[in-house]
Amino acid sequence: MNHRGPAASRHVPVLVDRVVELLAPALSRAGAVHVDGTLGMGGHAQAVLDTFPEAVVVGVDRDTEALDLAGERLAAYGPRLRRVHAAYDDIDAILDAVEDASGARTVDSSLFDLGVSSLQLDAGDRGFAYAQDAPLDMRMDQSSGSTAAEILATYSEADIARILRVYGEERFAGRIARAVVARRTTAPVTTSGQLVELLREVIPSHSQRTGGHPAKRTFQALRIEVNDELGCWDRTLPAQLDALRVGGRIAVLSYHSLEDRITKTELVRRATVSLPPGLPVVPEELAPRFDLLTRGAEKASAAEMTANPRATSVRLRAAVRVRPERGMS
């Protein structure tokens, strides 16, 4: 058992009943393959495995600790769970596992629960949480890539300010970047506690009283940069949509506007068609490949937000493939 405790006692999946409801028509057939692109501690995957006893789940995560925890939690399902250590934009690795499970490289349903996971927030030694002092790492896959501390030690003032402004929507981005660069001439910022201390010194006190925790936006921005979250999702979503069979469904849980904007733009693009005005009939070859399953972005209920605070900012979007891609049967 993982030293932090079993996954089932540490993780409550967000909007799990609604996700299962949206994906159900695609998973009811025998041998259906579901890709959980953000396996985490396995809460959503367990709901799929329980609800659809003939389905196989390909669970993907770049975090090896998450894969281990999910493996422990879902061990009873045996070969119905196929774990893949990869980022979710590694479509070849994912489809290799899908093909191994089903003999085909098409998917019946996909789920992506974006952003930082419960595991990473709760792991006080990885630098994701500003409430706990720890080495400023923030890598979801600790086997590769630069840490947040390395970014703060090596990026230019302009690049640090850009990251904070774009990814964190931090209004004091320039001021924070200048302070980081000035500080590192004598003692670089290497822990989450040091960064929180710097932010409290730099951000005006009146903004700290009214704008939430002063570190929230900076930590979000650094995490996104460290893990290339937006670039990864921008590459992933089109490839995952292409992999869905006709009748296949996708659900996406986003937790901030930057992720949700990418999701909304791509799903709407796939579900609409641009034609000259007055055309009486839409030719089949120009008809949309997807239908939207949610009207805008759905939110968690007040009851779920109270029971599970991590559901507070969630936005759920879903779509179904209704036609093959042009030129494909």
Give yes or no: residues 233 and 299 share one domain. Answer: yes
From 194, 227, 260, give the residue that closes a domain.
Answer: 227
Q: Is 130 a domain residue?
A: no
From 195, 227, 259, give the residue that closes a domain.
Answer: 227
pLDDT of residue 120: 56
Domain range for 170 is 135-227
Give yes or no: residues 196 and 272 share one domain. Answer: no
From 200, 227, 254, give the residue that closes a domain.
Answer: 227
Q: Is 151 a domain residue?
A: yes
Q: Is 128 a domain residue?
A: no
- 280: domain CATH number is 3.40.50.150
pLDDT of residue 3: 46
Q: Is 126 a domain residue?
A: no
Q: Looking at the predicted structure, is the pLDDT value of residue 276 above 80?
A: no
pTM for the full predicted model: 0.88
Give yes or no: residues 204 and 273 share one domain. Answer: no
3-state per-residue secondary structure call for the chain: CCCCCCHHHCCCCCCHHHHHHHHHHHHCCCCCEEEECCCCCCHHHHHHHHHCCCCEEEEEECCHHHHHHHHHHCHHHHHHEEEEECCCCCHHHHHHHHHHHHCCCCEEEEEEECCCCHHHHHCCCCCCCCCCCCECCCCCCCCCCCCHHHHHHHCCHHHHHHHHHHHHCCCCHHHHHHHHHHHCCCCCCCEHHHHHHHHHHHCCHHHHHHCCCCCHHHHHHHHHHHHCHHHHHHHHHHHHHHHEEEEEEEEEEECCHHHHHHHHHHHHHHHCCCCCCCCCCCCHHHCCCEEECCCCCECCCHHHHHHCHHHCCCEEEEEEECCCCCCCC
pLDDT of residue 66: 87
208-212, 301-305, 308-312: segment of lowest average pLDDT: 208-212
pLDDT of residue 1: 44
Give yes or no: residues 19 and 142 share one domain. Answer: no
User: How many structural domains compose the chain?
Assistant: 2
